[in-house]
């Protein structure tokens, strides 16, 4: 091997793209974000939660990126190939036009990223810049040439670049300049592996990998059972959800990113590369109603495995394989997305007490059990969790929004404790399972009465965020959606009216009123909450209002149909971690709610009602 020695880099820094301007590619074990300018600014290998080797998203190009673009100024237009996660970006310059195709083949042995440049017209001068930085942009690898490949190694990591054009070292980067004529194709392949293992030489060629990848996604998308209005938006959200699924276990990450801010230059930056129990029922119902029963079964199996153990150790989130130790730490060498510090890895909220997850887990087990018509499945786990919940449900907790402050008696948390008892009682009754039902019915009634007495403010005519508070909270929209009270109950109607008056901004719903700063609200509108409001409208018989709200939500998706966690109304931009699984799940559920007879909202609010076949 010939050693390549590179000097210290003096490259200029450039800010990352707007959050909503990124595209997603992935192999169902990890994912990459690709900007409109052809730069892959985020990629963790080999898993979603592994340290990033491209971290320019949270810093500068010197923290790792892979850019492939024309040398001349270009207009761009991009799309996914129909029914797939194969990204195509057209670059039109004064010299001609090229298409860059980016994708990650479904993994056979090692993760790979493939980039193809196809000449469409003229002669287009192109440039490639690859900066590999392992350990979240910290570690510069030792790069060597091995025949037709470049090997980048640091500690346990190895990335191998194979290109059909010459490449060379330049200031601690790997670079290439080449010209593509109409009808020509230039190929790049980057594959990851352990530095201490033998290199796997057998692999499919680029063309074969593209055909296989496109075929996989097209076949998967064709399984979708929903064919109604906005079916293209539903399909794109389902493909995104599949891309956020960790294939070996069935776990679904909340997002493939960490520390993308809820407010520009803010500090509300969290690691979302984990799996939340809170999203469980929403996700299960979306998959079942869309016809993806195998994915629903695997998601449920992941939930049961992760929650298994002592009931008093139930967490609100786990790693993609069910890991429990998600200790949070800050990355001091990354400045954060457009200076939004700190950058965090891990999530300390995993150690919080959040009572609502007991209700979520009981509900997802109930919904899947009824849909599958399997009686005794997982009742032992559910009973153990309920035995513990009956000891702790009166305690304050950190709530659905994972507030990092004083514990409170959050109304939503108590309602979800009620859900835990309600669904377990219903399941035991339905399948004739022996259980202390009289005792549980008493607790269920006690929780319901307490919430109606202490969580409702008669002066405001609304339920409130926590007992004794006067604050309104968008999580209260879930009360009718989980069946706690009917949608047309005057207390629910008053609560929705208060949310519309106090938490709506430009037609979108905030989670709650947070403190204001120099840039306006502390965070953007929370998109799942806005979908929940549309669900409520549909349950309450206000179909036109629900439809208008869904149209508004669909209009803020990016050009590829992707959405984030939040939306800054004043700036008209997507913010927070991206793309966000719960937002896409909410889109699927809400559209199905609006245009089918038995949607997820009706199913959950009346859990004795219709359930689509699960098996």
Three-state SS letters, 422-484 = HHHHHHHHHHCCCCCHHHHHHHHHHHHHHHHHHCEECCCCEECCECCCCCCCHHHHHHHHCCC
Length of the chain: 615
Span(s) in the chain for CATH 2.70.98.10? 2-219
Measure CA of the first residue to CA of the last residue in the chain; give whole Å.
55
Stretch (H or E) spanning 125: strand 112-131
Nearest of 20, 14, 133, 26 to residue 69 by alpha carbon: 14
Span(s) in the chain for CATH 1.50.10.10? 223-605
Stretch (H or E) spanning 236: helix 231-243
SS3 518: coil
Pair of tokens at residue 421: 């008892």
Chain center to CA of 86: 19
Q: Where are the alpha helices (DSSP H) in 56-186?
A: 134-137
DSSP secondary structure, 150-162, as one string = EEEEETTEEEEEE
**Dihedral-angle region of residue 482 (phi above 0 means left; psi in -120 to 50 means alpha; beta otherwise):** alpha
User: CATH fold of 2-219, please?
Assistant: Beta-galactosidase; Chain A, domain 5 (2.70.98)
pLDDT beneath 50, residues of the chain: 1-11, 517-521, 609-611, 613-615
* C-alpha pair distances (Å), 172 with each of 34, 191, 389: 22, 19, 56
Q: In terms of DSSP bridges, do strands 31-34 and 52-54 run parallel, antiparallel, or are they unpaired?
A: unpaired
> In CATH, which of 3.40.50.720, 3.10.180.10, 1.50.10.10, 3.40.1260.10 is domain 223-605?
1.50.10.10
- Please name the residue that has the structure tokens 């097209």: 218
User: What CA–CA distance (Å, rounded) separates 394 from 564?
Assistant: 34
Radius of gyration of the chain (CA): 25
pLDDT at 376: 67
* C-alpha pair distances (Å), 447 with each of 306, 393, 605: 27, 9, 18
pLDDT at 200: 74
Nearest of 77, 165, 54 to residue 116 by alpha carbon: 165
pLDDT at 59: 96
Mean pLDDT across the chain, nearest whole number? Answer: 92
User: What CA–CA distance (Å, rounded) separates 219 from 4?
Assistant: 44
DSSP secondary structure, 324-387, as one string = -----EE-TT---BTTB---EES-GGGGS--THHHHHHHHHHHHHHHHHT-SSTTHHHHHHHHH
pLDDT at 477: 98
User: What CA–CA distance (Å, rounded) separates 421 from 374?
Assistant: 19
């Amino acid at each position: 091997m010939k050693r390549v020695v590179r000097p210290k880099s003096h490259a200029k820094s450039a800010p990352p793209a707007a959050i909503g301007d990124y595209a997603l590619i992935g192999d169902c074990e990890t994912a990459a974000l690709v900007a409109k300018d052809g730069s892959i600014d985020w990629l963790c290998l080999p898993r979603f939660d592994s340290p990033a080797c491209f971290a320019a998203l949270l810093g500068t190009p010197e923290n790792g990126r892979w850019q492939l673009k024309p040398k001349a100024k270009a207009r761009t237009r991009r799309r996914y190939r129909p029914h797939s996660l194969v990204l195509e970006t057209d670059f039109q310059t004064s010299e001609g036009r090229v298409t860059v195709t980016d994708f990650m083949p479904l993994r056979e042995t090692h993760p790979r990223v493939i980039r193809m440049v196809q000449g469409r017209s003229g002669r287009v001068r192109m440039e490639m810049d690859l900066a590999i930085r392992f350990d979240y942009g910290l570690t510069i690898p030792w790069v060597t040439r091995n025949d037709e490949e470049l090997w980048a190694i640091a500690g346990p990591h190895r990335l191998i670049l194979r290109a059909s054009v010459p490449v060379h070292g330049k200031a601690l980067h790997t670079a290439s300049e080449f010209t593509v004529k109409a009808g020509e194709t230039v190929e790049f392949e980057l594959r990851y592996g352990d530095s201490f293992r033998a290199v796997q030489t057998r692999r499919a060629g680029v063309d074969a990998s593209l055909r296989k990848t496109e075929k996989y996604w097209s076949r998967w998308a064709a399984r979708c059972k929903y064919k109604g209005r906005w079916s293209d938006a539903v399909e794109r959200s389902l493909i995104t959800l599949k891309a956020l699924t960790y294939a070996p276990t069935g776990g679904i990450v909340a997002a493939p990113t960490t520390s993308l801010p809820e407010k520009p230059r803010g500090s509300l930056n969290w690691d979302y590369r984990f799996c939340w129990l809170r999203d469980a029922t929403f996700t299960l119902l979306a998959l079942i109603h869309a016809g993806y029963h195998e994915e629903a079964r695997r998601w449920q199996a992941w939930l049961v495995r992760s929650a298994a153990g002592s009931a008093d150790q139930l967490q609100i989130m786990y790693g993609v394989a069910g890991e429990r130790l998600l200790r949070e730490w800050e990355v001091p060498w990354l400045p954060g997305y457009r200076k939004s510090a700190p950058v965090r890895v891990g999530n300390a909220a995993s150690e919080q007490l959040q009572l609502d997850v007991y209700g979520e887990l009981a509900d997802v087990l109930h919904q899947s059990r009824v849909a599958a018509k399997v009686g005794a499945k997982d009742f032992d786990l559910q009973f153990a969790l309920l035995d513990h919940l009956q000891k702790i449900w009166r305690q304050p907790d950190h709530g659905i929004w994972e507030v990092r402050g004083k514990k409170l008696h959050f109304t939503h948390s108590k309602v979800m404790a009620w859900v835990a008892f309600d669904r377990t009682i219903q399941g035991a009754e339905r399948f004739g399972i022996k259980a202390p039902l009289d005792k549980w019915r008493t607790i269920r009634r006690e929780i319901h009465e307490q919430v109606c007495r202490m969580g409702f403010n008669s002066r405001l005519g609304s339920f409130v965020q926590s007992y004794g508070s006067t604050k309104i909270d968008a999580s209260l929209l879930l009360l009718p959606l989980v069946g706690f009270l009917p949608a047309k109950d005057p207390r629910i109607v008053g609560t929705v009216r208060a949310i519309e008056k106090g938490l709506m901004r430009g037609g979108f719903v905030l989670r709650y009123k947070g403190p204001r700063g120099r840039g306006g609200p502390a965070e953007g509108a929370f998109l799942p909450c806005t979908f929940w409001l549309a669900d409520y409208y549909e349950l309450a018989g206000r179909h036109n209002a629900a439809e208008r709200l869904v149209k508004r939500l669909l209009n803020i998706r990016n050009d590829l149909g992707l959405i984030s966690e939040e939306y800054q109304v004043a700036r008209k931009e997507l913010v927070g971690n991206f793309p966000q699984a719960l937002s896409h799940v909410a889109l699927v559920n809400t559209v199905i709610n609006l245009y089918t007879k038995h949607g997820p909202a009706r199913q959950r609010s009346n859990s004795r009602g219709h359930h689509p076949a699960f098996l």
